[in-house]
Amino acid sequence: MAGYTPMIQQYLKIKAEYKDCFLFFRLGDFYEMFFDDALTASRELEITLTSRDGGGEERIPMCGIPYHSAENYIKNLVDKGYKVAICEQVEDPKMAKGVVKREVVQLITPGTVMEGAMLDEKENNYLASISRFQDDVYGVAYNDLSTGENHVALITDGWQAVVSELFNRPIKEIVVSSELEESFQQDIKDRLRATISYQNGMDIDDSFTHLISALPDERYVQAFGRMINYLQSTQKRSLDHLKPVQVIQLKQFMSLDMYSKRNLELTETIMRKGKHGSLLWVLDQTVTAMGSRMLKKWMERPLLTRSAIEERFNLVTGFLDQFIERDMIREALKSIYDLERLSGRVAFGNVNARDLIQLKVSLSKIPEIKQILQQFTSQRIQRLAEDINPLTDLYQLLETSLIDDPPISVKDGGMIKDGFNEQLDKYRDASRNGKRWIAELEQKEKQATKIKSLKIGYNRVFGYYIEVTKANLHLLPENKYERKQTLTNAERFVTPELKEKESLILEAEEKSVELEYQLFSMIRDQVKTFIPPLQELADRLSQIDVLQGFATVSELNNYHRPTFNEEGTFDIYQGRHPVVEKVMKHGAFVPNDVKMDPEKDILLITGPNMSGKSTYMRQLALIAIMGQIGCFVPCESANLPIFDQIFTRIGAADDLVSGQSTFMVEMLEARHAIANATENSLILFDEIGRGTSTYDGMALAQAIIEYLHDHVRAKTLFSTHYHELTSLEQTLDKLKNIHVRAEEYQGKVIFLHQIQDGPADESYGIHVAKLADLPDQLIKRASVILSELENKQDSLSEVVEKKSDDQQLTFFVYEEDKPSADRQPKNKAETKLINELKHLNLMEMTPMEAMNELYRLKKKAAEE
């Protein structure tokens, strides 16, 4: 380092403390980057790479951006997962002895963004931390720095449960111990695609003890300790807006693992990764950014407590019954700015006068909102009005202090109203009167000199001056004017009288601007004391917004209020898929019923591809989720159980990142459901077993169905193309066959999308291929092959037999069961069975008939 210039040495010293960040090093009006930072930044930001002499043997790579337009560049880097350390000059260059002192004043990371332009207003920006305790228990903490909210949860089900929990929220950055296993860190990068940061300290400073007073034990405290230590080390400024930590009791909410959230497309679609086409897209009828964020939180954690669900329903009903008042509420809420994030910026100190005017406008609407809520006949909605604090004192402070259209900068003056501060009024009076005196002086000098073009001007270098063109210089009186500046066509002068007034005016203006900034800082500090009630107000308004949104979407889409039962009955009449019916361009959505009583746990669904099996299964889960977040549901009527968990295996997407095939992913998701489901869970399995050979797939599918039936007993929808499985209805009491209707007409298949009892009669696979416009020659050849296969069935190579001890089917014949070539029958009964086997014409049987015949013979052998 010794060979470098002092400035480059300073850069390298600071960079050494922020090795994993881009260091934005302030030089005059630019943020400069050097060495590897410059090489990477020039590529990522598409800016010019240059170089400079830094005192070493080679020129140093360098690139830079103007400080006043840095926000967009920082956003670009942060969106790509990078961190940016802002290094500012912290002393006046004029006062510096040697190199200007510089320090990192803020570290901007994907999880700690505060600037409005970098944030999605309808999306939380979460930072998470993971702490590992004994017995494979993990503490997960969440923070949204822009809103101040903090949450913490304990997870006792291992690492995969941690990943599922983190997948449930929009996590941008995850803080871990530097000692966390490398495989876990890689899992975070690959599956959650989050930036990893490190923080080992977990002790909490005394100034933050008020945030953790409600935490039940030390593990929760330590989990949050890692988070707050990271925030302190990166932000280097006030964190007064942070809310007390709330404990997430995971058992109080429906559990939606990462597979279910993805497969059901709750907040984003699988293909496009966007909101359009998701359940959130349909349900979001909120009008505020705060309400939209709260809706997403409710969707991530559906309720399990019946009374809490019914309370939401009662409020939605109240809003639904009075359209005019609800519409008035929507209009009033449209004037409410993002109070949560405004509070954060106030505490952070980066709020400007326009932000505070937005706050004032929002507060001005609160009395109107309270008045409208009191007009509802529902007493519950009226109580919502009673719980709203209008923060009148804060409104009066902003109303009396700030003008309605202040400038963006808080250091140029022009923000504070006349009459707010006596000293400021005096400065302004001196400035205004002085400028009036200047205007009067100009007129007087014009008259005295008879020079009509004479004018008095001002610039920052020379101050006030009298300008006279050279053609009129002879008209000026001698010894009164002092020459100040010579121009090409004019001369500029000053007089003793002008100098005196200039001093008074400039002093007044300078002191006025300085005083305004002091007053604004004082106002901002006063606003900061209102942050807790302001955050509570934001929470109340967000709830009102979500509830009126539920009423609005229910009215628009003809949703109805469901009822709940504790008997395990699932009875939906004319149910619809909320998203599919919204995006359908041609024809109306075909509604279907769902009936599952306590005696029927499994619905085995058969039917051709494209007939609507997956849609039917998904709509069942979405109706359950909508009901448990407090929204009415798309059907004519619904009587639902309260599900504690929903598990899905729908679709076929290879996990390319981890190198796992479709079939492996399918088996892992199936295992996850089987291992964690309870009697109060809902399981959706779509064509399990199709990723392997026919017999392997059918064997696994049947074994899974039997295990769910005998051991798990969760409500299950299981779709399949293995028509042989429909015979399970005869042996499994709680299984029922249903199918999706399709009819063949003039050689074409017509999908009716109607669910009916019983199994499907055929799969129509070739008809579906024809609809996909495969070549005619290919279709004809497939039909010939199908005909040959149907008329010439291969014999089964493996015997399907029923175990007598545990009633489970086995699909494998073990070595000790194989008859040897020289083995002779033991008795006449055995001889008779062998003869029956020999005379079976398997070529004339369907696979199902062959299996039934084998089962009959096996049973007969056991009896004899």
Q: Which of 178, 122, 130, 180 is closest to 152 using CA atoms? A: 130
Integer Rg of the chain from CA = 37
Using CA atoms, how far apart are residues 208 and 200, in angstroms rounded to an integer? 18
Q: What contacts 537, CB < 8 A, 6 or more positions away?
A: 339, 366, 388, 389, 391
Q: What contacts 171, CB < 8 A, 6 or more positions away?
A: 111, 126, 127, 128, 192, 194
Tokens representing 111 are: 């999880």
Q: What contacts 636, CB < 8 A, 6 or more positions away?
A: 560, 573, 574, 591
452 is in an annotated binding site: no
Q: How many CB atoms neighbour CB 817 within 10 A?
A: 9
CB 344 within 8 A of CB 239: no
Q: Side chain identity at 171, as an amino acid letter? A: I
CB 192 within 8 A of CB 110: no
| HEC secondary structure over 136-166 | HCEEEEEEECCCCEEEEEEECCCHHHHHHHH
610 is in an annotated binding site: yes
562 is in an annotated binding site: no
CB 658 within 8 A of CB 190: yes
Q: Which residues pair with 778 in a beta bridge?
A: none
Using CA atoms, how far apart are residues 143 and 226, in angstroms rounded to an integer? 11
Strands 809-810 and 801-802: antiparallel
Using CA atoms, how far apart are residues 845 and 801, in angstroms rounded to an integer? 18
614 is in an annotated binding site: yes
DSSP single-letter state for residue 211: G
What one-character-per-residue DSSP string does 694-759 give?
Answer: HHHHHHHHHHHHHHIIIII--EEEEE-S-GGGGGGGGT-TTEEEEEEEEEEETTEEEEEEEEEES-
Using CA atoms, how far apart are residues 558 and 561, in angstroms rounded to an integer? 10
Tokens 């903490």 correspond to what residue? 141
What one-character-per-residue DSSP string does 648-701 give?
Answer: EE-S---BTTTTB-HHHHHHHHHHHHHHH--TT-EEEEESTTTTS-HHHHHHHH
Using CA atoms, how far apart are residues 149 and 339, in angstroms rounded to an integer? 13
Using CA atoms, how far apart are residues 731 and 751, in angstroms rounded to an integer? 30
Using CA atoms, how far apart are residues 382 and 371, in angstroms rounded to an integer? 9
CB 656 within 8 A of CB 619: no
Hey, what's the torsion of the CAs at 166, 169, 173, 176, to 10 degrees? -30
CB 717 within 8 A of CB 620: yes
Q: Side chain identity at 752, as an amino acid letter? A: L
Q: Buried (b) or exposed (e) across 641-651, using 16+ Cβ within 10 A?
A: bbbbbbbbbbb
Tokens 């109080």 correspond to what residue? 252
260 is in an annotated binding site: no
Tokens 């005019």 correspond to what residue? 324
Using CA atoms, how far apart are residues 530 and 380, in angstroms rounded to an integer? 27
118 is in an annotated binding site: no
Q: Side chain identity at 243, as an amino acid letter? A: K
634 is in an annotated binding site: no
691 is in an annotated binding site: no
Residue numbering of the annotated binding site for ATP: 607-614
Residue numbering of the annotated binding site: 607-614
